[in-house]
Structure 1
Amino acid sequence: MSWGARFEEELVRLGLQPSRARQLRAETDQQAGEHAAEPDRFFGPAHLYARHLVAELSAPTSAVPRYTSGPVMLRLSGVGKRYRRRTVFSGVDLTVRGGEVAAIVGANGCGKSTLLRICAGLARASSGTVHRTRRVGFVPQDGGTAGWLTAGEHFTLFGAAAGMVPRRARSTGTHLASRLAWKPRTEQLVQHLSGGTRQKLNLVLGELHGPDLLLLDEPYQGFDQGSYLDFWQQVRTWREAGRAVVVVTHLLHELDNVDHVLDLGAAGGER
């Protein structure tokens, strides 16, 4: 029996509906394929990962507080983006308050990353209005770092932009990295880091200045399973601290960890 079949069988045994189990199996197959890895090497034993995933899916309703009275950190009203004769999306409405997590989902090419850049003020909307809090952290899907610098030099550089003295920026960056099970090496250049570790650096840089709103574009690309789970634990920590988080994702089982889902494939509607 294949890893996927054992995984799906265990999910059903643990109480998931067969259709939900098949969906989760397809998502894990996709994630492993994107990393060119065999599922058993990427996720570990099928039955253990199934048990952990079921526990993760059930945790938010009992372990994660739902905030409803935090201040508005991001509000989109009728936002659209058009390139010449092509409309990417239109009529997007979304409100995210402190202590809430919103997910942006949709098929490839529907404009998820473009919308996130509009939220960050890095791209201009063709229509509608965007209101955001002043302190924003943006984590791109790739790029955002300089290969010829070390992680510590990134902490100093990004910290200086936020008015942090070098020592504080480096100590803060090192502390935030430890939450993602990463200890930056003093002399190692970023160009020698793995893709997953560069994404950890991007996450640290996005949080370095203590933003009230975090905008994350599939920030777990290249993560192994342990780092992936550390990331979602960090999301829960942010929301418990009253921060707002908007994350672009294509993995549907993550949606149990969020308060709002914005599906750009459904004419920009929120559900």
Structure 2
Amino acid sequence: MTAHATPHPAGHTASAAAGRPLMTASGVEKSYRRGIWPARHAQAVLKGANLELLPGEVVGLVGENGSGKSTLMKVLFGELAPDAGTVEHVGRLGYCPQEPVVYERLTCDEHFELFGHAYRMNPADEHTSRRRLYETLGFTRYAGTRADQLSGGTLSKLNLGLALLADPEVLLLDEPYAGFDFDTYLRFWDLVAERRAAGRSVLIISHFVVDEHRFDRIVQLHDGTTHDRPPHDRPSE
């Protein structure tokens, strides 16, 4: 099972309270082997990417198709090992991959139970979090529906809900609102605003950023390296 979150290490509360970064990536490099022998060669995708996520910060990661956004996200989460560089984080990670990672024959309820167990959540806390996510994202009526019978939009809600279930300090989202209708899209941003207010960090990958005023920073990934820039309009809070 590809996990959507990782457990808390000791001391996570003190680090967040001190305002230190919840995640830091330094000099991340990643290459893939391409072609067929004897013409096989290494193609560098990440060439020293850097990223820092602070408590209460919402960051957008943008770049052209093939720029390495999803590769960087997988390295940050630990799904891929970097060829060079380091990634450090404080607290639990929540990861919403671009393609939902689910079991076709399990219902939504069964997914939440399974992931809650993997996160070592108290059953009562898992149930409370699950019910709130159903209500907030608007898919309560699908609680007993198998994943292979869900529409694409509802499957995206489940995918996001699994990443949010354990209230992670750092939330990594790869094109999270694909398939959402406008009402769900607004609900999504309500959840993001709650995480900012609670001192959590959120990183959102997108081919292009809309509603740029909702972000604190935009990170551009180009030619394997990252470049920070402020959004055009800061969020008003």
Q: Normalising to structure 1: TM-score of the pair?
A: 0.71
What SS does the corresponding residue of 2:167 show, helix, strand or coil?
A: coil
Q: Which has the higher strand share?
A: 2
Q: Point out the more displaced range, 161-170 or 242-251.
A: 161-170
Tell me if 1:263 matches 2:220: yes
Distance change (3 Å), C-alpha of 1:186 and 1:134: closer
Contact 2:68 2:224 (8 Å CA) reproduced: no
SS in 2 for 1:227: helix
Alignment RMSD: 1.9
**Residue 211 of structure 2 aligns with which residue?**
254
Corresponding residue to 1:133 among 54, 66, 90:
90
Asked whether 1:120 is paired with 2:77, we answer yes
**1:186/1:244 Cα in 2 relative to 1: closer, same or farther (>3 Å)?**
closer
Match of residue 180 from structure 1:
137
Closer, same or farther: CA 231–105 of 1 in aligned 2, 3 Å: same
Whether contact under 8 Å (2:23, 2:87) holds in the other structure is yes
Give the equivalent residue in structure 1 for 2:104.
Answer: 147
Shift of 1:112: 0.6
Letter in 2 for 1:228: Y
Gap change, CA 1:266 and 1:259, over 3 Å in 2: farther
1:150-172: per-residue Cα shift (whole Å, max 9, x none)? 11101110001112244542332
What is the deviation of 1:69?
Answer: 6.6
1:78 aligned residue: 27
Q: Percent identity?
A: 38
Contact 2:44 2:224 in 1 (8 A): no
1:189 corresponds to: 146
Offset from partner CA, 1:180-199 (integer Å, 9 cap, x none): 22214343111111111111
Per-residue CA shift, 1:24-67, capped at 9, x if unaligned? xxxxxxxxxxxxxxxxxxxxxxxxxxxxxxxxxxxxxxxxxxxx
RCO (CA 8 Å, sep 6+): is it higher in 1 or 2?
A: 2
Aligned length: 205
Gaps of 5+ in 2: 1-16, 34-41, 229-237
* Partner SS for 1:270: strand
1: distance between equivalents of 2:23 and 2:45? 21
Q: Which residue of 2 aligns with 1:104?
A: 61
1:239 Cα deviation from its structure 2 partner: 0.6
**Match of 1:264, SS?**
strand
Counterpart in the other structure of 1:170:
127
Cα distance change of structure 1 residues 136 and 232 upon mapping to structure 2, 3 Å threshold: same
Q: Report the CA distance shift for 1:266/1:171 in structure 2 as closer, same or farther (over 3 A).
A: same
Amino acid at match of 1:79: V
Query: What is the CA–CA distance in structure 2 between the aligned matches of 1:266 and 1:103, rounded to whole Å?
Result: 17
> Are the aligned partners of 2:131 and 2:140 in contact in 1 as well (CA < 8 Å)?
yes
> Runs (4+) of structure 1 moved beyond 3 Å?
165-168
Native 8 Å contact 2:156 2:178 kept in 1: yes
Deviates more, 1:148-157 or 1:186-195: 186-195
The answer on whether the counterparts of 2:67 and 2:224 sit within 8 Å (CA) in structure 1 is no
Deviation at 1:217, TM superposition (A): 0.5
TM-score, with length taken from structure 2: 0.81
SS in 2 for 1:200: helix
Please name the residue that 2:113 is paired with.
156
